Chains A and B, each alone.
Chain A
Amino acid sequence: MIKSSPVTYAVVKDFEVSSCAGENAEALWKSCLEKQTHIGEDGFGNLINKHYQKKGDPKSPLIHCIQNILNNQGVKPEDSSIGVILATTTGYTATWEHLLLDYLGDDETTETSFNLKEVFSKEPLGYLLEEVKEALSIKGPSAVISTACSASTHSIGLAQQWIKLKKVQKCLVITVELLCLLTKEGFNSFNLLDKTSCKPFDKSRTGINLSEAVGCIYIEGQESIKENEIQIAGFGATTDIHQMTTPDPEGKGTALSMQMAISSANLESQDIDLIHTHGTASYFNDLAESMAIKTIWSKENHPPFISTKGVHGHTLGSSGLLESCILFKAMENGIIPPTTGFNDFDEELGVKPLSTSIEKDINCVLKNTLGFGGANASLVFKKGS
């Protein structure tokens, strides 16, 4: 008789995130419940983290975030069964872009030539991961994923695959995004930035708030799942081939990504208790996601959906991880937080997000993200019963 190998669950054992809404996930969660925005008067959200002392340098806050989780869990990082996946779009960009800007704007001098070495050592995204691994003596498998705003969603999905394959027994998914000239001026050139706090799914939405985050989710493989433990149950991903910076307005790609995540979790669409959308408050993002929700469910009968970007802004590649942390808090507390910034129903979208918090037993949730380059990624988290 062939003995089948036991199912391995990818269980979320710990998580932490710093953002403009505070040092930790608890502060972020509290702000979500209180509908308190942390977007500054310039329309950006700046990282609050006591270890973030050198502007633009992601290393220290990231290492401290990981170290805290490893200490809390009593995990030795040098154990080769621990994998690490970094999700980032910008990495060290804020530290080297000005050096390159000076170099390209001026005549080359000995000093700028020296600085160019600094630029090219830090420009590859892999450099940051090498630094983290060295600082914490992490020896296991590693990867850096940079699929724009879906990066950490893809990273959590890949971590689930690694656990399922028993490539690793434990996995750290880490992320950092810091504001830099490239992203601030770049998004501004598309007229995508809202100078006030953003209004996801609102009729008068005018754009996004860029912001900063650093975070870590610690996942372990288990052969059984205990009550209230949260597992990464499903992962889906697709690519829109519409335009580089706008999703397919019919939302076909993101709908398919969500459906993949639901079916890979062996669930039906009606099993989903809550959708945390990407909800950036850009015209096309919210349109595409609304269309996708109507495609999978219906205009009248869909699970409650929210966006929390009105609180913490859009943290680009970190958004999937940061917003997953909000979902873990929601599942732990049995409360769906409201959509901060939403006021007026948009008939064109035909669906509206939850605007006040509700108490509800939440067992299965869907996290959705979309990214430049058409990168759609979705996750399903399920609570053990």
Chain B
Amino acid sequence: MNNEPIYIYAAGVSNSERALKLKSSDRSLRKASFEMILGYDCLKSISSEINTLKEELKPTEISFVCGSSHGSLYATKDFLSGFAKIKRARPFLFQNSLHNSITGFLCQKFELKGPSLTLSLGEQTGENCIDTAMDLLNSSFARACVLLAADGLVEEFKETLQSYVKGFDLKEGAGALILSKEESIGNLSPICSISLSSIQAEEVKTRSPYYDSDCIESIAHLIEEKKNTLVRTAPNKTKTTVNLTYL
């Protein structure tokens, strides 16, 4: 495996409040699922860095890796509610129901024409996005990766879902990162390098806030607070340690 460092060039987050505000103010998002809006808001916060990538690199050199454990569950709920009532499917709710819809929507919005991957690995979805992006960079398949992980918590299901879990509050949100092995990209300089390692843990520690793909959002907060280490143990006892080294 290639041991050259992988750098974080940008980090962004979104949350329910911001996404709701955006949904009510931006008419171009009226047919977007809530998870798409979370993702859109998140990528918007790092759009100047995304634009620099697009100026400096070929479109095929920029990969987009998008993770969601539940996909556009809001859209699936609306699709099935509508179908239960009128026995007819609504096309845009079907297209939005597919896991890949968040990826496709964001690629259109941010004009990302390179390889795009949609990943979904339960509570390790965020970690899996980072790991996959690192693979694409290490194999030189990509020169830069835009990563996004988003999961929504449908209001109608919230109470029931919360009753199944103990010790932490279920949430929704999104996080985004830009990763590259380049030492600089145009006028962009890296913020820090990132490494990730996983082992099997003996116990699962309580976490809060929580949604399946929250690892990327947690890293973005780590950067905001200039902290170095994130330890996250998924319910299947996979313990992942993320280390950041600031430059």
Contacts and interface: CB of A to CB of B under 8 A. Distances in A.
A253 B105 CA distance: 16
B140 to A, nearest CB: 9
A124 B135 contact: no
Contact of A189 (B90, B103, B122): B90
Given A116-B157, A372-B98, A123 B70 contact: yes
Question: Looking at chain A's contact residues, is the secondary structure mostly helix, strand, loop, or mixed?
Answer: helix
B44 interface: no
A384 interface: no
Contacts of A145: 117-119
Question: Looking at chain B's contact residues, is the secondary structure mostly helix, strand, loop, or mixed?
Answer: helix
A318 interface: no
B187 interface: no
B111 interface: yes
B139 A164 contact: yes
Interface in B119-133: 119-125, 128, 131-132
Interface string B28-48: 000000000000000000000
A114 B221 CA distance: 36
Given A158-B132, A238-B113, A165 B121 contact: no
A282 interface: no
A368 B84 CA distance: 37
Interface stretch (A52-60, A69-77, A146-154, A216-224): A146-154
A164 B161 CA distance: 41
A115 to B, nearest CB: 10
Contact of B60 (A164, A185, A256): A256
Given A124-B212, A238-B114, 5 more contacts: A101-B84, A146-B118, A161-B135, A239-B116, A245-B91
A104 B80 contact: yes
25 contacts: A101-B84, A104-B80, A113-B160, A116-B157, A116-B160, A117-B164, A120-B164, A125-B69, A126-B123, A142-B121, A144-B121, A146-B100, A147-B103, A154-B117, A165-B138, A167-B1, A188-B89, A189-B89, A237-B117, A239-B104, A239-B114, A239-B115, A244-B108, A372-B95, A375-B103
B80 A245 contact: no
Interface string A95-132: 00100110011000000010011001001111101100
B91 A186 contact: yes
Given A101-B84, A123-B70, A165-B2, A239 B119 contact: no
A158 B129 CA distance: 13
A186 B89 contact: yes
A182 B117 contact: no
B79 interface: yes
A373 interface: yes
Contact of B135 (A97, A113, A148, A162): A162
A253 B83 contact: no
A241 interface: yes
B81 A372 contact: no
A182 B138 CA distance: 38
B107 interface: yes
Contact of B107 (A188, A260, A374): A374
Contacts of B90: 189
A190 B91 contact: yes
A148 B77 contact: no
Contacts of B97: 182, 186
Nearest to B97: A182
B160 A375 contact: no
| List of 7 A-B pairs having minimum Cβ-Cβ separation, nearest first | A373-B104, A186-B94, A126-B122, A105-B84, A237-B115, A185-B89, A146-B99
B99 A165 contact: no
Nearest to B123: A126
B139 A105 contact: no
Contacts of A113: 160
Q: Which of B107, B120, B122 has the most CB of A within 10 A?
A: B120
Nearest to B99: A146
Contacts of A154: 117
B16 interface: no
A241 B112 contact: yes
B218 interface: no
A317 to B, nearest CB: 9
A181 interface: yes
B168 interface: no
A125 B99 contact: yes
Q: Which of A89, A126, A145 has the most CB of B within 10 A?
A: A126
Contact of A143 (B94, B105, B111, B121): B121
Contact of B77 (A104, A126, A127): A104
A239 B98 contact: no
A244 B80 contact: no
Contacts of B131: 141
A127 B123 CA distance: 10
A371 to B, nearest CB: 6
Interface string A343-385: 0000000000000000000000000000111110100000000
